[in-house]
Amino acid sequence: MAGLAHERELFAALSNLESEFGRWRSGEISVFELNDRVHRFHHGVSRDLYNLYDPRDAEMVVPGAIARGTLKEQEVDPALLKNLAELIEFAKRRQQE
């Protein structure tokens, strides 16, 4: 489940970056602006996702993904969902802070 959530969030982030390549190809932005956006992606959202899905925080990865809506509760095995219920609520509260 953690791998699926990571893939979904990375896909969305890369889709945004991909649109910048389209802007460069159409002449809307320069090669230098594109390079800056790639650099910001690497040191921003890419690093954030890497840290978010760090195996050292594995116990919070799936509950956090459910709280953010990256994973839907219906996708998670009911027994696992029951075991994660308190952590999901914790992640939701933390997200609201």
Q: Give 20-79 pLDDT, tens digit per residue.
A: 999 999 999 999 999 999 999 999 999 999 999 988 877 899 999 999 999 999 999 999
For the chain, which residues make up each domain, given as ranges?
Answer: 2-96
**What's the rounded Cα separation, in Å, for the pair 93 and 5?**
19
**29 neighbors 38 (Cβ within 8 angstroms):** no
Phi, psi angles (nearest 5°) of residue 77: -55, 130
Phi, psi angles (nearest 5°) of residue 61: -65, -55
Q: Give the per-residue pLDDT at 55.
A: 82
Q: Give the per-residue pLDDT at 24.
A: 98
Record the pTM: 0.77
**10 neighbors 49 (Cβ within 8 angstroms):** yes
